[in-house]
Structure 1
Amino acid sequence: MAQPQGALLVGSVNYPDAETTIRTAAQVLGGRVKRIPDGEVGPRFHWILFQPDVLARAGGIERIGDAPILVKGLDARPLRVADGVDPASIRFPALGYAAAAIESYAVFTRLREEGVVPEGVRFQVSLPTPVAVVGAFFPEDQRAAIEPVYRDALFGELDTILDAIPHGDLAIQWDNAVEFQIIEQATYAARGKGALESWWGETWAGLTARAVEQAGRVPIDVEVGFHLCYGDAGEKHFVEPADTANLVRFANTLFAASPRPIEWLHLPVPIDRDDDAYFEALERLELPAETELYLGLVHREDGAEGARRRIEAAQRHVERFGVATECGCGRAPADATEGLLRTHAEVAAAW
């Protein structure tokens, strides 16, 4: 069995600060990574859960419920547009993504000057999609009106990042997770969890058109990648994918319509899937020559042995890919983080 080439850090890394993340990733993974994130430290530790605290500061936005729903200091209560307020009139404050990226990039460049980060490695910034935040925190009857307002605020954060960080140093990853909750809504509802319906009409056309728009917002001299995700709350997917068919369908539509190259694509692999049925659809993946594929088959519970078992199964259906976790490692126990990084290094070859 040949080793996969390269590793991707999906975004979240359970270290206390950006310096620890960047320094450790560079030292452990060496020439296996082309991009290093800051680990989504601080209030970003639980992906988008910090956004309600930010958005609630905007005039015309109210919390739903009187009692805070606290998760490590973050209030996860949902939001609503107040009665009588035109959603188009709302102006959200800075969302926090640009400020965090600029602060962490300063750490990244210092470590590069010290020789810790190799020349040519890019600084990776992961961003949620508007569908994720709007779908997670706003009522169904308000989503269509508030989505473009949040979208413009998020694209403004992206523009600030693009203005502040040299394009040759930068890589942007779009995290598509709530999108797959919508795609899998029938299965999700059947398990008693309640479906998150689309609010724009035809599901596949709406979701993939948004992904194409997100790709096009990133200039050609900045790398862009897509993390297709089934969630990671408590290290569990919101629903386990039956196979890679929906992931492949989404990716192929994105590749065909994107106005620019996609530098990488990440797909999850559940820990118990080392069977042909899960991977067979990858034979239909129309992966462009310039796009790197990363399979999220590294799991802390079974380490290199389990990863190699899933690699062998994947290699029966797709020739070239690198390795990753299925959804970062920010929710894994802190004492497992370095072991997860070392598993990446053990099972993947350098570029």
Structure 2
Amino acid sequence: MAIQGAHLVGSLTCTDAESTFRVASQHLGGHLRRIPDGEVGPRFHWILFQGAAFAATAGLSRVGDEPALLAGFDVRPFALDGSVEPDRLAFSDLGYADAALESYATFARLREAGVVRAGTRFQVSLPTPLAALTTFVHPEARSAVEGPYTAALLAELDRITAAIPAADLAIQFDLAVEFAYLEKSQGRAVAYGRGPWWDDVAAGLLDRAAHVGRAVPAGVELGFHLCYGDVGERHFVEPLDATNLVLVANGLAERIDREITWLHLPVPIERDDAAFFAPLRDLHRHRFAELYLGLVHHEDGTDGARARIASAGASGVGDFGLATECGFGRGPAERTAPLLDLHARLAAAW
């Protein structure tokens, strides 16, 4: 077993893309194959800024009179108001393409200047449609809004892939809400969402995630970040083991006929035991060119990561790279450089 580099899931603590590219390159550049822009600006709180896109869409109105604020964003759900037929709902720009194109210009300039290593790709992290639909749409309207919102997200992807050379680009889809639905369907207490609007929970969420994954053109790298949430640096529910992570990963591999360049799986800080990693022996490892395990935690540093690396290696999953469980942009800024350095030390030690 060998450690094969490191992966940044998405968010860092920098306030702008240039700072992200510089700090990641300085502290971890030799171990990274791609760098995200840090999810700066309105994307700081992942999908919460998408409420503005729903508010600007004719035919949708908020439910409730008083704002429901989360991190300063109004997360009251939207319902169909009858002013537009559901099949004529039309979202305008969601903001992802605009942000990506602006950040890519900075990335390309810094790579040309030698700040970013030659051959490094620009990573764009996108949520699956299920995240915004669950957060911002009333349960009774989700099935009607799903098609128009999915089309809008794919239009963002089209703009990104049309403007950025394929050889420079890597697209990551973030699957988090999917695990809330899956765990809840298996009888676990998950305080998120009210259940799906389709019958077979696992098949439905896999079909939806694979649909957007297949839209990534050939030549552009495709990756998936599987996630159990990161609110206050805590999961919405702790995975019992890696079983559902493997179920989703294998389901994606079965539904997507192009190369999946990388797969990222979270590892809770408490889990350095063989039981957590045992399901990884069933992972269709050959379908993922790179595997990254989110087993690096700032709380227990080198010793904790080494224990989790040893257990993961003993599972027989083969070579893998290192990551945190999720992005770390909502932590304190002074943590970023030491956490990147921790990745580098661990990656260099094997």
TM-score category of the 2 structures, normalised to the smaller one: over 0.9
Query: Could you say if the C-alpha distance between residues 118 and 63 of structure 1 is closer, same or farther in structure 2, counting changes exceeding 3 Å?
Result: same
Whole-Å separation in 2 of the counterparts to 1:305 and 1:189: 31
Query: Could you say if the C-alpha distance between residues 141 and 290 of structure 1 is closer, same or farther in structure 2, counting changes exceeding 3 Å?
Result: closer
Query: Could you say if the C-alpha distance between residues 194 and 74 of structure 1 is closer, same or farther in structure 2, counting changes exceeding 3 Å?
Result: closer
Q: CA deviation at 1:339?
A: 1.6
CA offsets per residue over residues 62-102 of structure 1, 9 Å max, x none? 12222333445433332222145322211112000000000
Query: Could you say if the C-alpha distance between residues 214 and 3 of structure 1 is closer, same or farther in structure 2, counting changes exceeding 3 Å?
Result: same
In 2, are the aligned partners of 1:65 and 1:77 still within 8 Å (CA)?
yes
Residue of structure 2 equivalent to 1:64: 63
Question: Residue type matched to 1:243 in 2?
Answer: D
In 1, are the aligned partners of 2:169 and 2:220 still within 8 Å (CA)?
yes
Query: Could you say if the C-alpha distance between residues 3 and 290 of structure 1 is closer, same or farther in structure 2, counting changes exceeding 3 Å?
Result: closer
Q: CA deviation at 1:221?
A: 0.5
Matched length: 349
Q: CA deviation at 1:139?
A: 1.3
In the alignment, does 2:148 pair up with 1:149? yes
Residue of structure 2 equivalent to 1:28: 27
Whole-Å separation in 2 of the counterparts to 1:294 and 1:209: 23
Whole-Å separation in 1 of the counterparts to 2:69 and 2:261: 37
Residue of structure 2 equivalent to 1:207: 205
In the alignment, does 2:283 pair up with 1:285? yes
- Uncovered stretches (5+) of structure 2, i.e. residues with no partner: none
Q: CA deviation at 1:290?
A: 5.3
Pick aligned residue for 1:233 from 222, 231, 235:
231
Question: Residue type matched to 2:283 in 1?
Answer: L
Residue of structure 2 equivalent to 1:320: 319
Q: CA deviation at 1:186?
A: 4.4
Residue of structure 2 equivalent to 1:183: 182
Q: CA deviation at 1:211?
A: 2.2
- Uncovered stretches (5+) of structure 1, i.e. residues with no partner: none
Residue of structure 1 equivalent to 2:255: 257
In 1, are the aligned partners of 2:260 and 2:287 still within 8 Å (CA)?
no
CA offsets per residue over residues 309-343 of structure 1, 9 Å max, x none? 11111111122110111011122222211121111
Superposed counterparts of 1:1-351, under 5 Å: 4-83=3-82, 85-186=84-185, 190=189, 193=191, 196-288=194-286, 291-317=289-315, 318-349=317-348
Whole-Å separation in 2 of the counterparts to 1:346 and 1:8: 14
Whole-Å separation in 2 of the counterparts to 1:121 and 1:213: 27
Q: For structure 1, which segment, 178-187 or 267-276, has the greater mean C-alpha deviation from structure 2 after superposition?
A: 178-187
Q: CA deviation at 1:160?
A: 0.4
CA offsets per residue over residues 45-70 of structure 1, 9 Å max, x none? 01101101222011112122223334
In 2, are the aligned partners of 1:23 and 1:117 still within 8 Å (CA)?
yes
Q: For structure 1, which segment, 237-246 or 289-298, has the greater mean C-alpha deviation from structure 2 after superposition?
A: 289-298
Q: CA deviation at 1:119?
A: 1.1
Q: CA deviation at 1:189?
A: 5.5
Matched position secondary structure for 2:46: helix
Q: For structure 1, which segment, 148-157 or 293-302, has the greater mean C-alpha deviation from structure 2 after superposition?
A: 293-302
Q: For structure 1, which segment, 247-256 or 218-227, has the greater mean C-alpha deviation from structure 2 after superposition?
A: 247-256
Q: CA deviation at 1:243?
A: 0.4
Whole-Å separation in 2 of the counterparts to 1:325 and 1:190: 25
In 2, are the aligned partners of 1:64 and 1:77 still within 8 Å (CA)?
yes
Query: Could you say if the C-alpha distance between residues 82 and 31 of structure 1 is closer, same or farther in structure 2, counting changes exceeding 3 Å?
Result: same
In 2, are the aligned partners of 1:172 and 1:218 still within 8 Å (CA)?
yes
Q: CA deviation at 1:113?
A: 1.2
In 2, are the aligned partners of 1:188 and 1:195 still within 8 Å (CA)?
no
Question: Residue type matched to 2:289 in 1?
Answer: T
In 2, are the aligned partners of 1:294 and 1:324 still within 8 Å (CA)?
yes
Query: Could you say if the C-alpha distance between residues 290 and 234 of structure 1 is closer, same or farther in structure 2, counting changes exceeding 3 Å?
Result: closer
In 2, are the aligned partners of 1:32 and 1:350 still within 8 Å (CA)?
no
Q: CA deviation at 1:117?
A: 0.5
Aligned-pair identity in percent equals 55
Q: CA RMSD, aligned part only?
A: 1.8
Whole-Å separation in 1 of the counterparts to 2:133 and 2:236: 17
Query: Could you say if the C-alpha distance between residues 188 and 236 of structure 1 is closer, same or farther in structure 2, counting changes exceeding 3 Å?
Result: farther
Q: For structure 1, which segment, 68-77 or 310-319, has the greater mean C-alpha deviation from structure 2 after superposition?
A: 68-77
TM-score (norm 1): 0.95
Query: Could you say if the C-alpha distance between residues 125 and 80 of structure 1 is closer, same or farther in structure 2, counting changes exceeding 3 Å?
Result: same
TM-score (norm 2): 0.95
Question: Residue type matched to 1:155 in 2?
Answer: L
